[in-house]
Amino acid sequence: MKRRNFLKAIGAGTVYMTLPGCTNASGQAADKGTRPNILWILSEDISPDLSCYGTPAVETPNLNKLADQGVRFTNAFTTSPVCSTSRSAMITGMHQSSIGVHHHRSHRGDGYTLPEPVRMITEYFRQAGYFTANVKTAAPGVRGSGKTDFNFKYSKPFDGSDWNQRAPGQPFFAQLSISMTHRGGQWKGLDKKLDNPVDPAKVELPPFFPDHPIARADWATYLNSIQMMDQYIGKIMRRLDNEGLTDNTVVIFIGDHGRCHVRGKQWLYDAGIRIPLIVRWPGKLKTGSVNKDMVSAIDISATVLNIAGIQPPKHLQGQVFLGPGAKKQEYIFAARGRCDETIECIRCVHDKRYSYIRNYMPYRPWMALNRYKDTSYPMRNLLRKLYAEDKLTPAQMKFMAPTKPPEELYDLKNDPYELNNLVNSPRHQKVLKRMRAAHIKWMHQTGDIGLIPEPELEDIYLKYGNGYDILAQPENHGLIDHIREVIELAEHGKSAIPELVNAMQDKRPSVRWWAAIGLGNMNSDAEAAKTALQKALQDKSASVRIAAARALCRMYQSRQAMKLLIEELKNKDNKIVRHYAALELEDIGNKAGEFIQEIRTARNDSYDGVKRVATRIVSTLEK
């Protein structure tokens, strides 16, 4: 049975109510008055930097009160360190890398829809008689951003924009996004709007940030945004009180991913994926308690359905952590793909003590160019400046390295800032093997397709209609394991060249791509593979052609290879092919100067990723 059909079979007919006072088999309300309302508040770009979590200098009295009235979770994480992929996972209860939505802001305008049997959880609430809302006006003086940011197309994701639009007595499920903590224009002048602005001199900076006035001011501004957001929480809670909804409304406060700072947003360190999570469920939870269980943000979907008395569909990868049938888990898992124009492939496994990170593209630097971060993060330019002046500490220098280690392992008990990589520690080899095995098992269990290069995925979407059935196809059995083998081979260096050349003959373009990338990473050491790489310039796959051209350009100045990259920069069939070609031209640097006119033209490309990279290349070449 195909994976889609199997999941469709087990997922069908699972939406029904199992608790007293819910719906019967026909979906009609049995007793509307007893079903709880659910208000899910997402504060954007926020780590657990609240006073109730022990952060100094910041004051969050309203969230502290909410925690006193409910449960504060200390080991909550998102599945992704950036909004669109994280939100896509949360609202479906599925890992973004399982359903083909793992690249940030992908599938905008291309009609990509969720594969069967995956649904937004609002559909299950709607079928059970709930009103669903994406709140725009949260309370007097508080506007919700209305943000969805899903990497898929969905008709009628919500019923309305406020719970007051529901029928009398109808229970509601409401999502409310607060953008105040998202880095942007709303941060300007915050110190003037607050009665108790954070004093930059009193903040405690993580050791990987330089102790510099720019860093202190930026950190204080971030904390000020949290204080303003906390005021919004107070107003929202007062609205619930005034409308008589408090006693029958479950309030869930959560971040959509970690803080918008260096090593935070877009990275799988704790600063990027550990989030605050506070749940108030009147009469059901021990007030003022602290829960140390491992919780993933995709568990929210199964949990809120469970709270409402709706049996979560069996295909959900999230699991219930509150209410009847709640389970504990040993690990959480997170993944990062492309963010904006910057390609990456990273995975993370986390237990209560250790964090394991697998960098599948270690040749990509932590500080790779990225328009959003380079223009929005003052500390990125500060780090570059201090690096050039040789004024960074070893902890701060780490993030400036030109490459990353393939694996990272951190003991969070003794190293909460994840600075001491224990991969080569003899004492930690057992832990390393355990975490590595958990990662590989998760990739299999969830059908992680993140190792397939994005240009290939674009073509596969056209063939299969989505990114969900790829690994179920006979030609792709064992594909991820084979790709992993090729990646690991390449990390062995020159001794692996014969096997990588052999992998260049594989029938599957994703394998050939990784083999060519591995050879390219060896630069001139891969001279023995030159013939195979030159042949690959004629490969049927555009992504493989680009990877071969990259390798040849890194080995020696190959005008033939550069011309191929220029040709692919004009590829009419696949925008991601153009994007990859642009990135390789950027890496080539001044050698691409003879093609500056073609690159200038690419600044007007219809795809933003190409425009951003081409603009940078031209700016550099014209200096």
Sequence letter at residue 251: V
Report DSSP state, residue 211: -
- CB of 100 within 8 A of CB of 466? yes
CA distance 237 to 62: 9
| DSSP letter string, 189-203 | THHHH-SS---GGG-
Would you tell me how many other CB atoms lie within 10 Å of the CB of residue 228? 18
pLDDT per position as a tens digit, 350-381: 999 999 999 999 999 999 999 999 999 999 99
CA distance 560 to 535: 12
**Three state DSSP letters for 343-395:** CCCEEEEECCCEEEEEECCCCCCCCCCCHHHHHHCHHHHHHHHHHHCCCCCHH
| Mean pLDDT lowest among 220-234, 299-313, 473-487, 537-551 | 473-487
- CB of 369 within 8 A of CB of 616? yes
- What percent of the residues of the chain are helix, what percent strand, and what percent coil, each to the nearest 5? 45, 15, 45
| DSSP letter string, 312-340 | PPTT-SS---SSTT----S-EEEEE--BT
pLDDT at residue number 111: 87
pLDDT per position as a tens digit, 6-32: 333 323 333 323 332 333 322 333 334
Domain ranges of the chain: 3-17+39-329, 354-436, 448-621
What is the residue whose two structure tokens read 């959509």? 256
Partner residues linked to 176 by β-bridges: 41
Torsion sign over Cα 255, 298, 445, 428: positive
pLDDT at residue number 12: 33
pLDDT at residue number 33: 53
pLDDT band at residue 473 using 50, 70 and 90 as cut-offs: confident
Joined together, the tokens standing for residue 99 give 């359903």
Calculate ∠ Cα 565-339-558, nearest 5°. 20
pLDDT at residue number 307: 96
Flag whether pLDDT at 431 surpasses 50: yes
CA distance 620 to 615: 9
Strands 289-291 and 332-336: unpaired
User: What average pLDDT score do residues 53-62 get?
Assistant: 96
| DSSP letter string, 484-539 | HHHHHHHTTGGGGHHHHHHHTT-SSHHHHHHHHHHHHHTGGGGGGGHHHHHHHTT-
CA distance 329 to 226: 30
Residues in CB range of 560: below 8 A, 6 or more apart = 534, 537, 552
- How far CA 72 is from CA of 275, 281, 324, in Å, comes to 11, 12, 19
- CB of 133 within 8 A of CB of 104? no
pLDDT per position as a tens digit, 120-169: 999 999 999 999 999 999 999 899 999 999 999 999 999 999 999 999 99
- How far CA 104 is from CA of 5, 35, 53, 149, in Å, comes to 28, 36, 29, 9
CA distance 418 to 208: 10
| Mean pLDDT lowest among 187-201, 328-342, 460-474 | 460-474
Flag whether pLDDT at 102 surpasses 80: yes
149 phi-psi bin (left φ>0, alpha ψ -120 to 50, beta other): left
CA distance 172 to 457: 37
448-621: CATH topology is Leucine-rich Repeat Variant (1.25.10)
Flag whether pLDDT at 208 surpasses 60: yes
- How far CA 381 is from CA of 73, 181, 365, 614, in Å, comes to 34, 21, 15, 21
pLDDT per position as a tens digit, 212-251: 999 999 999 999 999 999 999 999 999 999 999 999 999 9
User: What average pLDDT score do residues 77-103 get?
Assistant: 97
Any idea which architecture 3-17+39-329 has in CATH? 3-Layer(aba) Sandwich (3.40)
Give the DSSP H or E segment for 460. Answer: helix 454-464
- CB of 365 within 8 A of CB of 404? yes
As a dihedral over the C-alpha atoms of residue 522, residue 528, residue 533, residue 534, rounded to 10 degrees, the angle is 130
Flag whether pLDDT at 501 surpasses 50: yes
Query: How many DSSP H helices and E strands does the chain contain?
Result: 22, 14
pLDDT at residue number 471: 84
pLDDT at residue number 11: 34
pLDDT per position as a tens digit, 572-623: 999 999 999 999 999 999 989 999 999 999 999 999 999 999 999 999 999 8
Tell me, rounded to whole angstroms, the distance of Cα 194 from its chain centroid: 31
Flag whether pLDDT at 92 surpasses 50: yes
